[in-house]
Amino acid sequence: MQIKKVLDDFRIKGVHLYLKDGELGYSAKKGVITREILESIKEKKTDIINHLKLSDPSCIKFKMSSTSKVRAKLSNRFLWKDYSNGKMIVTTANATHLVFRKQGEFYTNTYNKAIIALFRRHEIFNCAIEKSEGDLWLTHRSNQNAKIDEIVVKGQTLEQREKEAMTIANDLIWKEYNLEEGQLYRISLIRITPSDYILGVGLHHAIGDMVSINMFFHEIMVLYYAILTSTPPRLHPIKYRYIDYLASLETWSTTPGGIEYLNYWKDQLRSTPVTCLKPLEHLSINKLSREEIFEERIEIDSYVNENIKKMAKGLKKTLFCVMLSMYKIAIWRMTGQENLVVVSLQTGRPNNDLMNVIGDFAMEIAYKTDLSGNPDFKEITERVAHKMSEAQSHQPIPLDWVRKALHEEGISFIAPGMSALPENDIETAKKTNIKPLRFPPPGVRHGCHGFPVSCAIEFRESPDSIVGSMIYRTDVYDKSTIKKFLGVFKETIYDAIKNPRKKLYEFVKCNQEDSII
């Protein structure tokens, strides 16, 4: 029997096999694993491992390019592709950034040398974006000089200078990027006084994610102190470039392993292409209206936050898994839909060789959960955790590839999103008397967390509370629906905390005509 058929049979039974650090592991719902299944896995273990190695994306072989101009196709969630209308929209203001204020001695020339060294280390800063052949391409250009915005503020008083510096920093962070000419980064040094600076770094999402921006700033400071003290910088060597990863990912996608992973996602989402905050019979996308993005905020206080953490610990689940379970119950209460898909972000690097590579490795991942059978909250978290493990092991297929493949079958995929982001924690900043500054985006963030998403809630955890922001497309939802959903979601959180054994059908379903706000 072919090993692929064996794995498919296991999957039908609810047993998912995967590799972790070269070892075979499995996940399954409680009670699914039998002695017979364990014996079958043990008997075929070697063949299963060999098959999984061939299709495992962490085993993608990367190749360095020897040409001076190389390009690779982008599969970036922040670069919209509207397949139904044949349009591609590149959002130029989509960036991730860190801004810090540093007081004390700081040598501008040394900082400039550190940035130049960083650019020699990471070739991605010499890349631009091209649009051709119906796709977007990241293209390597000849080496350019590192561009640094160095500004001295001129206010008469310290208060005036501080205010001017903050205004300049905000403008630099959110200034549009010229994607075709390149310079997909932004570095600023704003001098308030001879011993008081604002340091800002930004990356367009075409070349960087949250992990990258932290890495970017960390390496600048490591290089700065190495140059200042005339010592070798303690940085791991870089084996590959981000553009090599993109090219290798595209090549892998045409292999049997890549095709198998794509088919897995098509099968998962084809049967549940639409998850919505309204009953499906009430869903109608206003194709005549211009798609716009609006935002509603939600805040969960410290008392509830602590109780969610205690619940997660008691259930032996991550905080995100528990929050995602509550989110799905709230959607069920609004719609009655039991088979639900929620899209989230997966950060990190898919391969150890890429751990110190700057690039946008954050990918959208679809978490599908079946809530049928009136499970209690604990069982729902078990189902969500199981599907999270299975879905994460089928990365890094970009969700956009799946959406495009489904569109070719005449299927439109639409789902809500959810992300939970920790506070930035830069060890280098702690050691160097640097204070992080916040610059919220002007208006609503672009992209609504990516093109397949009709709405998305993003949580940022802080010591005192969890602050959420629900961004939604106005061609799909109106304000009253979103406000009602946020009320239902908060009520779901409180109910689950009070009674973790509460059955799904004990959560009150919503009457679409009534408001819970």
E-assigned strand segments in 5-51: 15-20, 23-28
Of the two residues 394 and 160, the one the predictor is more confident about is 160
CB 319 within 8 A of CB 307: no
Decide if pLDDT at 342 tops 90.
yes
Q: How confident is the model at residue 381 (pLDDT cuts 50, 70, 90)?
A: very high
How far apart CA 313 and CA 142 sit, in angstroms, is 51
CB 190 within 8 A of CB 155: no
Q: How confident is the model at residue 462 (pLDDT cuts 50, 70, 90)?
A: low
CA distances from 148 to 144, 201, 210, 503 (A): 12, 10, 21, 58
Query: b vs e for 272-291, b when ≥16 Cβ sit within 10 Å of the residue's Cβ?
Result: bbebbbbeeeeeeeeeeeee
Decide if pLDDT at 58 tops 80.
no
- Token pair recorded at residue 144: 């350019």
Phi-psi region of 21 (alpha: psi -120 to 50; beta: other; left: phi over 0): left
State mean pLDDT over 31-56. 77
Looking at residue 420, its pLDDT comes to: 75
CB 344 within 8 A of CB 365: yes
- Token pair recorded at residue 357: 């590579």
Pairing of strands 453-461, 415-421: parallel
Decide if pLDDT at 91 tops 60.
no
Of all residues in the chain, the percent with pLDDT exceeding 70 is 81
Contacts of 445 (CB under 8 A, 6+ apart): 94, 293, 295, 471
Least confident among 136-140, 299-303, 453-457: 299-303
What 3-state DSSP class applies to 506?
A: helix
Main-chain phi, psi angles of 47, to 5 degrees: -65, -40
Looking at residue 471, its pLDDT comes to: 83
Single out the residue of 246, 253, 227, 229 nearest to residue 123, CA to CA.
246
How far apart CA 440 and CA 173 sit, in angstroms, is 10
- Token pair recorded at residue 27: 């996940």
Tally of CB atoms within 10 A around 115? 22
Burial class (CB in 10 A: 0-12, 13-18, 19+), 98: buried
Q: How confident is the model at residue 452 (pLDDT cuts 50, 70, 90)?
A: low
Direct distance between the N- and C-terminal alpha carbons of the chain, in angstroms, rounded to an integer: 57
E-assigned strand segments in 43-124: 71-73, 79-82, 87-90, 95-103
Looking at residue 339, its pLDDT comes to: 94
CA distances from 475 to 176, 285, 287, 414, 510 (A): 25, 6, 7, 12, 22
Of all residues in the chain, the percent with pLDDT exceeding 90 is 22
Helices 319-335, 302-315: inter-axial angle, 10-degree rounding: 100
- Residue pointed to by tokens 């292409």: 273
How far apart CA 271 and CA 254 sit, in angstroms, is 24
Decide if pLDDT at 21 tops 80.
no
Q: How confident is the model at residue 113 (pLDDT cuts 50, 70, 90)?
A: very high
How far is CA 478 from its chain centroid?
A: 25
pLDDT, one tens digit per residue, over 479-511 is 999 999 999 999 999 999 988 889 999 988 776
Main-chain phi, psi angles of 439, to 5 degrees: -135, 90
Q: How confident is the model at residue 331 (pLDDT cuts 50, 70, 90)?
A: very high
Decide if pLDDT at 449 tops 50.
no
Single out the residue of 59, 5, 10 nearest to residue 32, CA to CA.
10
How far apart CA 15 and CA 54 sit, in angstroms, is 20
Contacts of 88 (CB under 8 A, 6+ apart): 79, 80, 81, 82, 131, 134, 136
Mean pLDDT of the residues in the chain: 80
Q: How confident is the model at residue 87 (pLDDT cuts 50, 70, 90)?
A: low
pLDDT, one tens digit per residue, over 173-188 is 888 777 777 788 888 8
Q: What residue type is 34 in one-letter code? A: T
Single out the residue of 364, 361, 365, 345 nearest to residue 353, CA to CA.
361
Q: How confident is the model at residue 446 (pLDDT cuts 50, 70, 90)?
A: very low
CB 135 within 8 A of CB 86: no
Least confident among 136-150, 424-438, 439-453: 439-453
Q: What residue type is 393 in one-letter code? A: S
Q: How confident is the model at residue 375 (pLDDT cuts 50, 70, 90)?
A: very high
Phi-psi region of 157 (alpha: psi -120 to 50; beta: other; left: phi over 0): beta
CB 359 within 8 A of CB 124: yes
Phi-psi region of 407 (alpha: psi -120 to 50; beta: other; left: phi over 0): alpha
Q: What residue type is 257 in one-letter code? A: G
Burial class (CB in 10 A: 0-12, 13-18, 19+), 141: middle
Burial class (CB in 10 A: 0-12, 13-18, 19+), 465: middle
- Token pair recorded at residue 327: 């989110």
Pairing of strands 149-152, 185-193: parallel
